[in-house]
């Protein structure tokens, strides 16, 4: 969870934020065939030729680039989960858009605050994605499996209190082949100092995750 005092976290979030080389020497056979000299190496043996051959190319990746994250959920869903937010969302600057892209929506409507993040991470292989998925789900213990979402999905909800203000945050991590989809959804009520219920936050995060995974598959 974020450790900044909530008013500061709110302020921060609201800011527009890789030779093939082969050689051989053929000698004429027969009784007059010349023996190899120092200048003429014998033809490579089968074992040597095999060792020098290029390795098989890496298995093709299902996803080679992250899709547009702000198109990961519908306008209807944005309005439902983040009332008052600009439905277009705000894409976060990335050093490598082919590997990771994130979009955020946040709004304060009255005293009710909501924040939604969608991130796509493209890994070099399914194995790399599996490793990253395991790491992320291990770091966020206490959650559970979300059936029927990608190849694997996990959801966890946490409640924090800072200066008597509660914030409840749900995180869904889903893997589809060599891609990860990470959803973060949280909320607070600055009038009552209470947080939305666990069920509301969890269902909202899972709903966004399902749409985001579908958008990933559609973009291919």
220: confidence class by pLDDT, cuts 50, 70, 90: confident
Q: For residue range 182-192, what is the model confidence (pLDDT) as tens digits?
A: 999 999 999 99
Strand order in the sheet with 152-162: 90-92, 100-109, 112-122, 179-189, 165-176, 152-162, 144-145
Of residues 98, 92, 55, 65, the one with CA closest to residue 184: 92
What pLDDT does residue 92 have? 95
What pLDDT does residue 93 have? 93
181 - beta bridge partners? 120, 174
In-domain check, residue 49:
no
Site of tokens 């120092």: 38
In-domain check, residue 213:
yes
Q: Is 6 left (phi over 0), alpha (psi -120 to 50) or beta?
A: alpha
- Cα angle 124, 182, 176 (rounded to 5 degrees) comes to 50
Which position has the higher pLDDT, 18 or 133? 133
Query: What is the mean predicted confidence (pLDDT) over 204-218?
Result: 97
| Contact (Cβ atoms closer than 8 angstroms) between residue 130 and residue 175 | yes
CATH number of the domain at 79, please. Answer: 2.60.120
The radius of gyration computed from the CA coordinates of the chain, to the nearest angstrom, equals 27
Instruction: Name the token pair of 167.
Output: 């914030």
In-domain check, residue 24:
no
Number of domains in the chain: 1
In-domain check, residue 119:
yes
Supply the range of the domain harboring residue 118.
65-219
Of residues 43, 169, 180, the one with CA closest to residue 121: 180
What pLDDT does residue 6 have? 45
In-domain check, residue 168:
yes
Of all helices (H) and strands (E), which one includes residue 43?
none
Res. 148: pLDDT tops 70: yes
Q: For residue range 36-54, what is the model confidence (pLDDT) as tens digits?
A: 333 333 444 444 444 444 4
**Full-model pTM:** 0.74
Q: For residue range 104-136, what is the model confidence (pLDDT) as tens digits?
A: 999 999 999 999 999 999 999 999 999 999 999
Residues 25, 42: Cα–Cα separation, whole Å: 6
In-domain check, residue 115:
yes
What pLDDT does residue 58 have? 60
Phi, psi of 54, rounded to the nearest 5 degrees: -70, 145
In-domain check, residue 30:
no
In-domain check, residue 167:
yes
Q: For residue range 46-101, what is the model confidence (pLDDT) as tens digits?
A: 444 444 444 445 668 899 999 999 999 999 999 999 999 999 999 999 999 999 99
What pLDDT does residue 163 have? 95
């Amino acid at each position: 969870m974020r450790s900044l005092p909530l008013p500061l976290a709110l302020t921060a979030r609201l800011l527009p934020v890789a030779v093939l080389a082969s050689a051989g020497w053929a000698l004429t056979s027969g009784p007059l065939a010349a023996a190899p000299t120092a200048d003429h190496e014998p033809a490579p043996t089968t074992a040597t030729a095999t060792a020098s051959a290029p390795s098989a190319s890496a298995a093709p990746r299902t996803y080679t680039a992250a899709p547009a994250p702000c198109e990961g959920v519908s306008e209807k869903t944005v309005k439902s989960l983040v009332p008052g937010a600009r439905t277009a969302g705000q894409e976060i600057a990335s050093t490598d858009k082919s590997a990771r892209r994130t979009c955020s929506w946040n709004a304060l409507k009255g005293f009710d605050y909501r924040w939604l993040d969608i991130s796509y991470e493209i890994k070099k292989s399914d194995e790399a994605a599996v490793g990253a998925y395991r790491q992320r789900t291990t770091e966020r213990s206490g959650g559970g499996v979300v059936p029927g979402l990608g190849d694997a999905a996990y959801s966890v909800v946490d409640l924090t209190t800072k200066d008597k203000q509660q914030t409840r945050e749900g995180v869904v991590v889903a893997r589809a082949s060599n891609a990860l989809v990470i959803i973060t959804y949280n909320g607070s009520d600055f009038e009552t100092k209470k947080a939305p219920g666990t069920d509301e936050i969890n269902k909202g995060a899972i709903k966004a995750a399902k749409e985001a995974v579908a958008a990933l598959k559609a973009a291919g």
